[in-house]
Chains A and B, each alone.
Chain A
Amino acid sequence: MKGYKIIVLAKQVPDTRNVGKDAMKANGTVNRAALPAIFNPEDLNALEQALRLKDRYPGTTVTLLTMGPGRAADIIREGLFRGADDGYLITDRKFAGSDTLATSYAISLAAKKLMPFDLIMCGRQAIDGDTAQVGPQVAEKIDIPQITYAEEIEKIEKGKITIKRRLERGVETVECPMPLLITVHGSAPDCRARNAKYLLRYKHAKTWTEMQQDTEDYLWLREDRPYLDIREWSVDDLSADETFLGLSGSPTKVKKVFNVVFTAKEAKVLGDTDAEMDDLMKELIENHNIG
């Protein structure tokens, strides 16, 4: 059996889930730099689904595709450590300021360069924006079907894939011919841990830019081990039309942002003693807030 060719889209995101005290500036805004950069959680769920298909259907390959600044190569290394086969980093200053539409344009060009493929998989949404837009927009640009919110891939048979989807108030099982794009829901199983063997094998996997800082020995090493290359794609490599990229390719503009100013209501501050609690409850009952 020949297996399937799977592309996994992954994003490096600031960890907005637990904005601790140390990440707050004195004026109450968040200090982004203090937030650790992580593998977007639902993209890890997507990677796990791809790796399960690889376990199940011998000959299957998993290629990671990420877009971001140079340090986003960490995402590819992380994927390699967990069992992916190779990865590409889409990186160029000209992508800066891209909204979801411009981002999906760049990713769709990269995916087209990797054609023919059977599946593109990605997380439902990224935690820094929660828009859930890039997956469907990439699918539209490549003109393939999309199945969103996948929780379980049941099987692939005769070129068709059967997927269980998690909806707001229920589940749905659908069958779709390949190729297609699947977005994976966070309720799908967690991603497996790093594998010690792959950790050794890919420890020195780097992008060309990162290699510039390498010493001679490593350059030698790389010559016999081509799998250590993380390829970088720029606007030129993708033959992208610049009018569809960055700020100019982004129809949405941020008009203004403002810090929320609390209209402090002058909360009545209470301790947790029996007397204070009894008084509060008494007041709430008397004022018909409760009861």
Chain B
Amino acid sequence: MNNVIVYCEIEDGNIVDVSLELLTKGRSLADLLKVQLDAVIIGKELKGIEQQLYPFGVDNLYVADDPRLYPYQTLPHASIVSKLFEEIKPEIALFGATSIGRDLAPRIASALKCGLTADCTSLEIGEHEDKKKKKIYKDLLFQIRPAFGGNIIATIINPETRPQMATVREGVMKKEIKSMSYKGKRINLEVEKYVRGEDFVVRIIDRHIEKSKINIKNSQIIISGGYGVGSKENFDLLFELADVLGGEVGGSRAAVDAGYITHERQIGQTGITVRPKLYIACGISGAVQHRAGMDQSAMIISINKDPEAPINQIADYAIIGDIGTVLPKMIKYYKKNTK
């Protein structure tokens, strides 16, 4: 069987977190399948980049290093990855579900005519029997994600096509160093052989990338608000509670869609995944796509007018009430009883 490969993203010389998380997952999948872990990195000035990657258990690192390859552009990156995949025929290929990964992975899946599953919340190895074809597929990648329609989790497989491709959001998988002394092999790709002249038709005129100021993923306390918060102004109460408790504010997609908070704060299947010590869900009903991003929290408190809200079923404390009444009381008590 061939290897597992991770497409690694780079920003300002650093491999981004989601890529390291995928390498950690890729390493464990490779171990299960008894194959090696590959990684591909495309950019400029990549001297020494292997130092950031080997500790995560990378056996073979494919590097395309050329001044034209950074910042990211769809066409040259797609050409390089598609061609590389045709040569090394990976069994599994993983991409971050980022602005870049979600732009690149479908283009590659189309070129290679293989299946791609977006926003997986879990990846496992399993067996599948096709009763019609009387065929057993061993060691398939089970791509697990909540599916449309509420409380459903779907397992997607690609029995016939390779690589089996999936994207995963930042924070869903855990990042873990395998060994600081792990050593892989660096393979430099001859860029000219992988790109076409017309791949460089797009010109980047201007680019502003901000360092994320909000650090929800690493916050131990998250006050999260949903559609039930009712307005952007009402979110001030959540920010105030977060402020006094030293936490961060997150939210549901309905709150983002309604314009109460920005997308960077969205928690769930298509947002970020968090595992804080304490998660306070305010006016959130608890749809499966939301729970996918927070159900690993150590303690969950729900504040909801509706005693039947599904979120209450995974909560440790379910406060039945209006956030407009409950939050000020919490803030008041905390301010009064701590220094």
Q: Taking beta carbons and an 8 Å cutoff, which residues of A are in contact with B?
A: 14, 16-19, 24, 28-30, 32, 99-101, 104, 128-137, 139-141, 145-149, 162, 167-177, 250-260, 262-265, 267-272, 274, 276-278, 280-282, 284-285, 289-291
Contacting pair B325 A137 (CB below 8 A)? no
Residues of A contacting B105 with CB < 8 Å?
Answer: 133
Given contacts A281-B337, A282-B337, contact A272 B320 (CB under 8 A): yes
| Additional A-B contact list (6), CB under 8 Å, known A277-B326, A280-B317 | A133-B106, A140-B110, A145-B202, A251-B114, A268-B316, A271-B320
Residues of A contacting B159 with CB < 8 Å?
Answer: 253
Residues of B contacting A17 with CB < 8 Å?
Answer: 253-254, 257
Interface residues of B, count at CB 8 A:
90
Contacting pair A176 B202 (CB below 8 A)? yes
| Chain B residue with the shortest CB-CB distance to A252 | B115
Contacting pair B149 A146 (CB below 8 A)? no
Given contacts A133-B118, A136-B106, contact A251 B160 (CB under 8 A): yes
B128 at the interface (CB under 8 A from A): yes
Contacting pair B205 A253 (CB below 8 A)? no
Q: B205's contact among A30, A140, A174, by CB below 8 Å, is which?
A: A174
Contacting pair A19 B204 (CB below 8 A)? no
B284 at the interface (CB under 8 A from A): no
- What are 27 sample pairs from A and B whose C-beta atoms fall under 8 A apart? A14-B148, A18-B227, A30-B149, A30-B151, A101-B113, A101-B116, A104-B110, A130-B119, A131-B118, A132-B106, A137-B107, A146-B103, A147-B202, A170-B207, A171-B208, A251-B114, A252-B117, A253-B158, A258-B152, A260-B152, A267-B312, A267-B316, A267-B317, A272-B322, A278-B329, A281-B333, A290-B334
| Chain B residue with the shortest CB-CB distance to A24 | B150
Given contacts A268-B317, A281-B337, contact A175 B203 (CB under 8 A): yes
Given contacts A167-B209, A252-B158, A272-B322, contact A257 B317 (CB under 8 A): no
Contacting pair B338 A291 (CB below 8 A)? yes
Given contacts A100-B116, A137-B107, contact A174 B153 (CB under 8 A): no
B195 at the interface (CB under 8 A from A): no
Contacting pair B334 A28 (CB below 8 A)? no
Residues of B contacting A274 with CB < 8 Å?
Answer: 329
8 A Cβ contacts from B242-263 to A: 245, 253-254, 257
Given contacts A255-B157, A290-B278, contact A267 B302 (CB under 8 A): yes
Which 5 residue pairs are nearest across A and B when measured between Cβ atoms? A272-B321, A251-B115, A30-B150, A252-B115, A170-B209
